[in-house]
Amino acid sequence: MADDIILEARGLSKEFKGFIAVKEVNLQVRRGTIHALIGPNGAGKSTVFNLLTKFLTPTRGQILYKGRDITAMKPADVALLGMVRSFQISAVFPHLSVLENVRVALQRPRGTSFHFWKPEASLHDLHDRAEELIEAVNLTPWAGHTAAELPYGRKRALEIATTLALDPEVMLLDEPLAGMGHEDIEGTAALIKRVSADRTILMVEHNLSVVAHLSDTITVLRRGEILAEGAYDVVSRNPQVMEAYMGTGEVGHA
What is Dmax (Cα atoms) for the chain? 64
> Taking residues 149-169, what's their average pLDDT?
89
> Taking residues 95-101, what's their average pLDDT?
93
Mean pLDDT over all residues of the chain? 86
Query: By the 8 A CB rule, do 150 and 160 touch?
Result: no
Which value, to the nearest 10 degrees, does the dihedral of the CA atoms of residues 87, 53, 227, 33 take? Answer: 70
Query: Which of 43-47, 69-73, 190-194, 242-246 shows the lowest per-residue confidence on average (mean pLDDT)?
Result: 242-246
Instruction: Find the helix packing angle between 152-164 and 124-136, rounded to 10°.
Output: 130
Q: What is the pLDDT of residue 59?
A: 96
Query: Which of 47-51, 198-202, 223-227, 235-239 shows the lowest per-residue confidence on average (mean pLDDT)?
Result: 235-239
Which of the two residues, 176 and 68, has the higher pLDDT score?
68
Query: By the 8 A CB rule, do 206 and 178 touch?
Result: yes
**pLDDT-based confidence at 117, cuts 50/70/90?**
very low
**pLDDT-based confidence at 200, cuts 50/70/90?**
very high
Which of the two residues, 167 and 15, has the higher pLDDT score?
15
Element (H, E) at 6: strand 5-16
**254, pLDDT greater than 90:** no
Query: By the 8 A CB rule, do 242 and 234 touch?
Result: no
**pLDDT-based confidence at 119, cuts 50/70/90?**
low
Q: What is the pLDDT of residue 245?
A: 74
Fold of domain 1-86+170-254: Rossmann fold (3.40.50)
**222, pLDDT greater than 50:** yes
Question: Identity (one letter) of the amino acid at 107?
Answer: Q
5-19, 115-129, 152-166: which has the highest mean pLDDT? 5-19
Q: What is the pLDDT of residue 206?
A: 80
Q: What is the pLDDT of residue 40?
A: 85
Domain residue ranges in the chain? 1-86+170-254, 90-165
* Coil, strand or helix at 29: strand
Q: What is the pLDDT of residue 130?
A: 93
Which of the two residues, 93 and 253, has the higher pLDDT score?
93
According to DSSP, the β-strands at 225-230 and 68-69 are: unpaired
Q: What is the pLDDT of residue 89?
A: 43
> Taking residues 211-229, what's their average pLDDT?
93
**116, pLDDT greater than 60:** no
